[in-house]
Structure 1
Amino acid sequence: MKTIPLKRLVPGLIIGPASWLGPYIVTSSLFLPALIQHLDAENKITLLALFSSVGMIAAAISNMVAGFLSDRTRSRFGKRTPWLVSGAFVFMLAMIFASMSTTIPLLMASWMLGQIALNFIVAPMIAWLDLAPENGKGTASSAYGGLGMALGNNGFTIVGAIFLSQFRLGFILFGIVTFLGALIAAVIVREPSNLDEPLDKPSSTTKAKFSIKDLSTIFPKWVEGRDYYLALIGKLFQGVGNFAITGYLLYIMTDFLHKDTSSTQQTIQLINTIMLVFGIAMGFIAGPISDRLKLLKLPVGLSTILLGIGVLSIFFLQNDIGLMIYAFMAGLGMGIWNSLDNLLNLKVIPDKNRVGFFLGFYNLGNTVTQAIAPVIAAFMISTIGFSSIFMMSFAFSIIGGILILSIKSVSR
């Protein structure tokens, strides 16, 4: 198997995910809610859940398609690069269209296009991890998740909060950042040509006899893929627990804690600064420590439990101290999680010939959960009240950790 030296792969795995995740987090958690509120303030909670539901469907389908297509691509630029660069370009256009939307249907159409394009970046890019040398996969995973995703999750939000009152301009600027970042990452990584790689083409007879039974082989049975499914379900629970809070962070500040716009902006920046520091710190040390001590399952499982504990501080204290405790606990937990969870999934993939597909599908935990969480949260808010989302987030995070710790093929 071809490999790429870490001196090229690591910078690409930092810039690449930061460039797609950062703009997505900022647009989905700040600019989209702000624009929806501007267009239809009365129905903002329901509309945000609707956008999330539609986005979830688009993300799920496009992620699987992107992973499948990139696995089967042969080009002078490799399997993944053509798709992720093209996806970044379309995402940029979608964000520009969103910035010009004057009605909810136009905004919905732009957002749908952006969701589809986003997953044509995500699924191929995460498969770059498989190009790392065997003794450096932990470092590569840490670069992607610990550094790249920390910058995306928190670093961009610090900057994004500045544009909270200019959200239309924010859509445009962050869309451009995604395209330029993906392009720079691709140039740095320089994925090798795979034109010489054989591609098994099904015969006409095979095509004619294709059946539902054949379709069922896309995913292995539980007994064969148990650990992969546990990792996937654990990631989904962790993701919902995380994004139920971050997806509604703007409304938590304004509607639950009753902060004004200036205070909201400052608090969001402070929270994300704390989480960014922890994310970068874990990005530097979690992967190398995992490689050296052969620890993987335990830190990943415990990290999501830390997140759940941090969420409770907001609920019980309902002040800035509670928010800071949440930032510290969630920052440490997410820093460890982002550094190592992709490596854990790489270890439990049931079919090594379809790395792009399985890694891409697993990475739906970063996109689909951002869609599912607001839907569940909106239901909880409307039926029980705003405080219920904190209990929900805690429960989902704990369940996610338990599922990860139940994996058998990775000992510790």
Structure 2
Amino acid sequence: MTVPLSRPATTPRTGRLPLLLATMFAFNTTGYIAITAAVQILLPTQVAAADPVGKLTSFGLVTGISAIASVGVPPIVGALSDRTRGRWGRRTPWFLYGGLATAAALVLLGSLSTVTGLLIGWFLVQGAVNVGLNIVLAVVADRVPSRRLGLASTLNGLGIPVGGAIGTWAGALLVDSILLAYCLLAVVFLAGSLVMAVVARETAGTAGRTARSFKEELAAAVESLRTRDYAWAFAARAVMFLGYFMASSFSLYALTDYIQLPGGLAPATAAATLGLVTTGFLALGMIVMGPLADRLDRRKLFVLLSSLLIAVSTAMPVLSPTWSTQLVAAVLSGIGFGTYLSVDQALVTLVLPAREDSGRDLGVFHIALNAPQVVAPFIAAVVVGGLGGFPGLYVVGGLLALVGSVFIVPIRSVR
């Protein structure tokens, strides 16, 4: 069994750390601009044009199968980057590869018009964009000192709501010019990748370790999950996110069939309002709690409390399926989720099994976020159909989030 890597990591010069962190935020933002504009606006429009009658089923098929790429790519690319050799270092080339591949895939996706073509195109986009979005986590592990991990996680995480908001707006603005929209997204993400590669350039001595065969790499990845604290952190994230994504899978349908909305408030408008409230308090939770966890040096405590807050907010509609309860739950969920995102990544960086395998192990850990997103809608459908409808769904989701908080407790090496 391996032991967690020690800190601090190799860091940039003191004066360059703020620039590095700001560039990480900008890079993540460009990634989520591309993802959100596509999946929220552009891709559904393309699917509806390709299959007007079966658009819901077809869209679920396209996004569900393509999500496999977001699960499989991070650990593979992470492992390859750990062993990359050359004058550009381990991580820098992968920002360039990912940026070029994502730009090409986005332009290709914009030119497709059949459901099969859109599935292939979105699969390629999902795989390509997750190259850079995973490698940036390895840069945090390599370059950011432990006293700034919460701040780094906060800035990385803020790219999600900021990029999501910009992406939704940009997609809606350009929805009548699909190919142009994808070309602009490609340019934006490629520019972000190039800037990230320049700012995060590595110094001499960052060459990768000796390459291993695929079988040896797979065995090493499985072995890393035997590291006690890393395994508990992985399990905690996977179970917590499974509960969260299950409860949110059918939010529009729940607002239509279960939640008691005020007269005149359409379910779609209610969903948009809740999303805005959640995003606002998510950003607040990130901005406040990430740096506070750094200051107090208490990451485990913050992850535990935020998981409990998510569990409570998830189960609230069972006791009171009203609009006012939904608004309160959105506030609590936003604060809890924002805190979790800003601190959990810092925690896992501190319990990685081995520094030389940080890219691979962070990629494996990324599965604990992406895999629940893939399976949650299917499990949620079974729960709604067989365990008491939406109340059963919220109970199960809340219990899973609660179990996720319990799994944080056995972690020993982080307070």
TM-score normalised over the length of structure 2: 0.81
1:114 equivalent in structure 2: 125
2:6 equivalent in structure 1: none
**1:265-276 residue pairs with structure 2 within 5 A?**
266-276=269-279
**1:158-237 residue pairs with structure 2 within 5 A?**
159=169, 163=172, 173=181, 176-177=184-185, 180-181=188-189, 183-184=191-192, 186-187=194-195, 190-194=199-203, 196-201=205-210, 215-220=218-223, 224-237=226-239
Alignment of 1:340 onto 2:340: no
2:241 equivalent in structure 1: 239
In 1, Cα distance between the equivalents of 2:307 and 2:167?
21
In 2, Cα distance between the equivalents of 1:139 and 1:29?
29
> What's the secondary structure of 1:349's corresponding residue?
coil
Amino acid at match of 2:406: I
- Cα deviation for residue 255 of structure 1 reads 6.3
In 1, Cα distance between the equivalents of 2:178 and 2:256?
20
Residue of 352, 356, 360 corresponding to 2:355 = 352
In 1, Cα distance between the equivalents of 2:383 and 2:56?
11
Q: Which runs of 5+ in 2 are unaligned?
A: 1-9
2:144 equivalent in structure 1: 132
Matched residues, number: 400
Alignment of 1:321 onto 2:324: yes
In 2, Cα distance between the equivalents of 1:211 and 1:80?
20
Amino acid at match of 1:24: I
1:296 equivalent in structure 2: 299
- Contact preservation (8 Å) 1:84, 1:121: yes
Q: 1:257 and 1:118, CA in 2 relative to 1: closer, same or farther beyond 3 A?
A: farther
Give the CA RMSD over aligned residues. Answer: 3.7
Q: 1:394 and 1:30, CA in 2 relative to 1: closer, same or farther beyond 3 A?
A: farther
TM-superposition CA deviations, 1:14-42 (whole Å, max 9, x none): 22222223543554466656655665577
Residue of 141, 147, 154 corresponding to 1:142 = 154
2:397 equivalent in structure 1: 393
- Cα deviation for residue 345 of structure 1 reads 0.4
- Contact preservation (8 Å) 2:209, 2:356: no
Q: Which runs of 5+ in 1 are unaligned?
A: none
Alignment of 1:280 onto 2:283: yes
- Cα deviation for residue 80 of structure 1 reads 2.6
Amino acid at match of 2:152: A
In 1, Cα distance between the equivalents of 2:346 and 2:293?
10
> What's the secondary structure of 1:363's corresponding residue?
helix
TM-superposition CA deviations, 1:351-404 (whole Å, max 9, x none): 111111111221233433322222322343455575143333222211211112
- Contact preservation (8 Å) 2:86, 2:207: no
In 1, Cα distance between the equivalents of 2:208 and 2:88?
16
TM-score normalised over the length of structure 1: 0.81
- Cα deviation for residue 87 of structure 1 reads 2.3
- Contact preservation (8 Å) 1:9, 1:140: no
Alignment of 1:406 onto 2:414: no
Amino acid at match of 1:404: I
2:381 equivalent in structure 1: 378
TM-superposition CA deviations, 1:21-64 (whole Å, max 9, x none): 35435544666566556655776665555445423432232112
Over the matched positions of the two proteins, sequence identity in percent amounts to 23
In 2, Cα distance between the equivalents of 1:176 and 1:386?
43
